[in-house]
Homo-oligomer: A and B are copies of this chain.
Amino acid sequence: MTHRIRAGVVGASGLAGGELLRLITQHPGLELAFLGGSSHIGRRPAELHPGLRLPLDGLTVRPVTEETTDGLDVVFLATPAPVSAELAALLADRVPAVIDLSGAFRIRTPELHERWYPKVQRRPDLAERFVYGVPELVGDRFADAPLISLPGCYATAITLGLAPLTLGLGLDLRTVLIDGKSGSSGGGLKLRTTDLHPYRNGAIAPYAPTGHRHAGEVRDFLEREGGGSVGSLTMSAYGVSHVRGLLTSSYVFTDRAVDQRELQRAYLRFYKGHPFVRVRRHDETLIPVPDPQAVLGSNYCDVTVLHDEEDGRIVVLGALDNLVKGAAGQAVQAANLRFGLPVDTGLTMHPVMPA
């Protein structure tokens, strides 16, 4: 590569934005060239993200316009869905690659989009041009794609957990119940009483006991991709008392019996060659895995599959760092695929554990 890819980050003051700064400035092939935002104009990264006191402090947050984004090779949108929808319209066809981390373009089926994102007006022309998906599953479609939409943090762990069943083993999933548990960073930095430390610390907060929209996203994707079918798929989500990392538990009833041995083999085979998915046995370490603390700060998604002989259900656990594999790391992974770099470029850092 004769020059580094010039990258812009919009939403630089948020948690996913900060994580993009961390990863891009550690990436040998990316150059952080623009910080965009609508608030905090003029602020340096280290003022917003106290860990990031770096040479990059020459950059400050600027508004997103045609001029400020001119000459960029890729823009990462770490913005709320409505903002992403607007910015994508501004940037499409002007910047070679737009990678959106929000929910604006995740759901393809118009009715499902309307149901789960009623406040984000769908732009059919744009929406159809976006390539959506977990890089491990649709990464080849990212090559040279101008518009990329990435799954939500929960959706990434769930989809990586279920895909070997539907796409690998071709199983029909009769019923899928998903229980998601997440740290507080999953909710961003909104100023709400419930997110203040006194109320979030020590909590097991059932913030979406029914109707979490990542369920809609997962179903929409799995049904489109073929393989086994998906009957009912619902999700309940809980906030627990730490900051970074999530675990998804998918309880799955399938149309035919599969035993532990077949499952384990199928998962290992499915993710062979994919460096960021670690298929792990539940008891392979001194602590039970998967556990998000074992992936903290890294781009790994740890997956464990278990067959419960009691009722024949399959239990699939997925753990990831919601700000890395669930957001910024996956976005960099997508950029690597988009620009033809090795998929793990700039993403080889190990988990920081314990933290």
Residues of A within 8 A of B (CB): 15, 18, 22, 25-26, 46-54, 175, 177, 179, 181, 183-185, 189, 191-207, 209-211, 215, 232-234, 236, 238, 240-247, 249, 251, 253, 278, 280, 282, 284-298, 304, 306, 308, 310-311, 313, 315, 317, 319, 348-355
Contacts and interface: CB of A to CB of B under 8 A. Distances in A.
A277 to B, nearest CB: 11
The 7 closest A-B pairs by CB, nearest first: A51-B351, A197-B200, A51-B353, A50-B285, A184-B197, A232-B311, A297-B352
Contacts of A353: 18, 49-51
Nearest to A313: B234
Contacts of A241: 240-242
A289 to B, nearest CB: 6
B284 A232 contact: no
Contacts of A246: 204
Contacts of A354: 15, 185, 198-199, 201-202, 243-244
Given A175-B311, A205-B288, 8 more contacts: A175-B253, A191-B193, A194-B288, A199-B293, A204-B319, A209-B249, A215-B310, A236-B251
Given A189-B193, A249-B209, A315-B236, A204 B177 contact: no
Contacts of A205: 287-288, 291
A55 to B, nearest CB: 10
7 contacts: A179-B251, A184-B196, A191-B193, A202-B245, A202-B296, A204-B319, A215-B310
Contacts of A249: 179, 206, 209, 236, 238
B201 A201 contact: yes
B206 A288 contact: yes
B193 A195 contact: no
- Count this chain's copies in the assembly: 4
Contacts of A240: 181, 204, 240-242
A93 to B, nearest CB: 33
Contact of A350 (B26, B194, B251, B351): B26
Nearest to A298: B51
Contacts of A245: 202, 204
A200 B179 CA distance: 20
A310 B243 contact: no
A181 to B, nearest CB: 5
A190 B242 CA distance: 21
Residue among A179, A289, A293 having the largest count of chain B Cβ atoms under 10 Å:
A293
A285 B196 CA distance: 15
